[in-house]
Amino acid sequence: MLPKSMFVDRKNEIDLLNKIYEKEKAELILLYGRRRVGKTRLLKEFIKDKNSYYFIADISADILTTFERVIKDQFVRFPNWDDFFDFLEMKGEKRVVIVLDEFQYLYKVNKAWPTILQRRWEDLKDTKVMIILCGSIISSIYKMAMGYGSALYGSTDDTVKVAEYAGAKVLRHKKNMGYGAAIQSCFRYARENKFDVMVIIDGDAQHDADLIPAVIKPVIENGTDISIGSRFVNGNGHDVPRYRRAGIGVLTKLTNVGSKEKHKVSDGQSGFRAYSRNAILHINPKDDDMGVSAEILMQGRTRNLAYEEIPISCRYDVDGSTKKPVGHGFGVVISILKYMEVQHSLLFFGIPSVILFIAGSIFGINAYFLYKQSGFLSFGPALITIALLILSMLSGMTGIILHAVINAHRRI
């Protein structure tokens, strides 16, 4: 058993930080990740033999007073943020490391903090100060620290390098091609490397990676093809915000349309799933955007894959989504309709054809009775009748032709 104070398995990260430290020039570094992965321990190990100050932020209004206590100098006072950065500029005459842990809370205390950081960083660029911003609420941090106009905008992101140092295989696209395109790459890589099990978990810090064994378990022990981490199974989901619960509920119902009981799910938009070798081989998602989650489930039921849902928890104190809820929802609906257009062409075009035919017939009957009463043909209702019946015929023929073509293609 290792002593609790022993620091292990972070040599690559320490080496990377030391390499930056040795440059003897101003550096502004963003270190982020979910909670309980050892960020704070890593930083304390890094600064233990260096000229440094470690500050941990919170949401108290007198956070600068808390920072004063870290300095342990009765003559150092920070009435405002400019005084704090003046102190850093003075200390930056020699190499010094400044750690601001949980720095995202500073934004909650003072919405202008990112702007102050941007402005004062210009003064610090000629010093030898090395500032490390460390936090856990990933998406908020990224928007605040690396968004357009921020101090780190356009800077290098070493997430890939650190992940590779840790032994991860990183798949990269040259540009942002969409959530669905990333999922496609995962399936392609898993097929090419003959994986037996694949876990996909959204990287927005909302899911708990410690639950991976629980989500994998049905695949390994029960022969399940798709194990879904569900926020709503067994009556759960009370911690999900109402607007999310309502939106996910609608999208899940649409995803379940036409499903047998064994393929109906409670959380059709879960970003935490495990896939068997069989699922990896037979699922081939095409959607490049957010609709891929529904597409995978619809493909799975077409191929009669086995589903199982596992209860999971999800954090909503992190703003992890890069898409607005309305845009996300419309994208999923369009994806579902596209899939139904191909997989259920008779149903997709047949139902509108019947509705149009009934509507055309009603207008036609109305036009006929008007003609019988007045002796004159009412041009408006007659024209609407003809238009509706033509559209009904076109919709029906489209469904029949598309159904025939798809079936012929499957037989080839």
Backbone angles phi, psi at 22, to 5 degrees: -70, -10
Mean pLDDT (whole number) for 361-382: 83
Question: Average pLDDT of 57-68?
Answer: 88
The parent domain of residue 258 ranges over 179-342
State mean pLDDT over 6-21.
79
At which of 288, 310, 342 does a domain end?
A: 342
Integer Cα distance of 130 and 124 in angstroms: 10
What is the domain-level CATH number for residue 323?
A: 3.90.550.10
pLDDT given for residue 247 in this prediction: 85
pLDDT digits (tens, 9 = 90+) for 192-208: 999 999 999 987 777 88
Q: What is the mean pLDDT of residues 317-328?
A: 61
pLDDT of residue 222: 93
> How much is the mean pLDDT over the chain?
82
Q: How many domains does the chain have?
A: 3
Tell which of 304, 326, 342 closes a domain. Answer: 342
The pLDDT value recorded for residue 1 is: 36
- 164-197 confidence digits (pLDDT tens): 655 678 888 888 888 899 999 999 999 999 999 9
Mean pLDDT, rounded, for 209-231: 93
Specify whether 319 is located in the same domain as 187.
yes
Helix intervals (H) in 92-112: 104-109
User: What pLDDT is stored for residue 6 in this prediction?
Assistant: 44
Task: Pick the last residue of a domain from 165, 189, 220.
Answer: 165
Res. 324: pLDDT tops 80: no
Q: Is residue 171 part of a domain?
A: no
Total residue count of the chain as it appears in this document? 412
Question: What's the chain's Rg over C-alpha atoms?
Answer: 29
Cβ-Cβ contacts under 8 Å for 212 (sequence gap 6 or more) = 199, 201, 274
Q: Residue range 17-24: average pLDDT?
A: 91
3-state secondary structure of 315: coil
- Residue 157 pLDDT level (bands cut at 50, 70, 90): low
Q: What is the pLDDT of residue 161?
A: 66
42 and 90 both lie in a single domain? yes
Indicate if 270 and 407 belong to the same structural domain. no
Between 200-204, 302-306, 333-337, 407-411, the lowest mean confidence (pLDDT) is in 407-411
Position 4 confidence tier, pLDDT thresholds 50, 70, 90: very low
Residues 194 and 128 placed together within one structural domain of the fold:
no
Q: How many CB atoms lie within 10 A of CB 170?
A: 10
In a domain, 170, yes or no: no
Residue 150 shares a structural domain with residue 282: no
334 plus 353 within the same structural domain: no
Instruction: Let me know if 146 is exposed, middle or buried by CB neighbors in 10 A (0-12, 13-18, 19+).
Output: middle
Among the listed residues 178, 136, 307, 292, the one whose alpha carbon sits nearest the alpha carbon of residue 230: 307
Q: What is the pLDDT of residue 320?
A: 52
Read off the pLDDT of residues 85-98 as tens digits, 9 standing for 90 and up: 999 999 999 999 99
Helix or strand or coil: residue 363? Answer: helix
pLDDT at 128: 94
In which band, very low, low, confident or very high, does the pLDDT at 59 lie, cut at 50, 70 and 90? confident
* pLDDT given for residue 8 in this prediction: 54
Q: Is residue 172 part of a domain?
A: no
Q: Is residue 174 part of a domain?
A: no
Cα distance between residue 307 and residue 255, in whole Å: 14
Q: 130: exposed, middle or buried (C-beta count within 10 Å: 0-12, 13-18, 19+)? A: buried
Higher pLDDT, 285 or 137: 285
pLDDT at 3: 41
Section 403-410 average pLDDT: 64
